[in-house]
Structure 1
Amino acid sequence: MQDAIFFDTLRQGLWIAVMIAAPLLSVALIAGVAIGLFQALTSVQEMTLTFVPKVGAMLIVFWVSMSFMSETLVDFFTRSLVPMIAGF
């Protein structure tokens, strides 16, 4: 296998990983900032207040974007990796 093909496939795989992780990470960031701001404004320092809503928001976003994640991974595998492994 040529180095250019290997590095191009690796670049595509990393970009797919960024695209798949972006919705979850952005919701975690937004929820964390919102909860931190709420805690700073109200002086409530409860540990479960930071954890439970953030996990709940991430689960909802994961459930909503699961089809996008699956389609993206299946497309990457069927268009890039499987033909490369099969030698087409």
Structure 2
Amino acid sequence: MHLLADAKQPMACTYEEINMTAPGGAFSIGFSASSILGLVLVALKLGHVIDWSWWWVTVPFWGVRALFVASIALAMVTGLVAGIFSRQH
């Protein structure tokens, strides 16, 4: 009888609890502008509308990450060079 009483009660949870269960939010589709642009460029390439290299067509998928990695590397090199010059003077 105890199981039937619990089954009839509605499950109570807050929006925050629902939102924490799914990455990107409970109702997030997860497409960014660069993903949509990349899909459009791939469709245009496959439809023979554009005659670009596949490297350029796929830039929206990996370009943002490459810029992020390059900026981190540049910051690290700049920090190392600044540290070397600050020790010499």
TM over 0.5: no
TM-score band (shorter)? 0.3 to 0.5
State TM-score, norm by structure 1.
0.37
TM-score of the superposition, structure 2-length normalised? 0.36
